[in-house]
Amino acid sequence: QQKVQQSPESLSVPEGGMASLNCTSSDRNFQYFWWYRQHSGEGPKALMSIFSDGDKKEGRFTAHLNKASLHVSLHIRDSQPSDSALYFCAAHTGYQNFYFGKGTSLTVIP
Partner 1 sequence: GGIITQTPKFLIGQEGQKLTLKCQQNFNHDTMYWYRQDSGKGLRLIYYSITENDLQKGDLSEGYDASREKKSSFSLTVTSAQKNEMAVFLCASSMWTNTEVFFGKGTRLTVV
Q: Residues interacting with partner 1, by CB under 8 A? A: 9, 32, 34, 36, 41-46, 49, 88, 90, 92-98, 100-103
**Residue 61 or residue 98: which is nearer to partner 1 going by CB?**
98
Minimum CB distance to partner 1, residue 66 (Å): 21
Q: List the beta bridge partners of residue 100.
A: 90
Minimum CB distance to partner 1, residue 46 (Å): 5
Minimum CB distance to partner 1, residue 100 (Å): 4
Query: What whole-number distance in Å separates Cα of residue 76 and Cα of residue 41?
Result: 22
Query: What whole-number distance in Å separates Cα of residue 103 and Cα of residue 21?
Result: 10
Give the Cβ contact number of residue 40 at 10 Å: 7
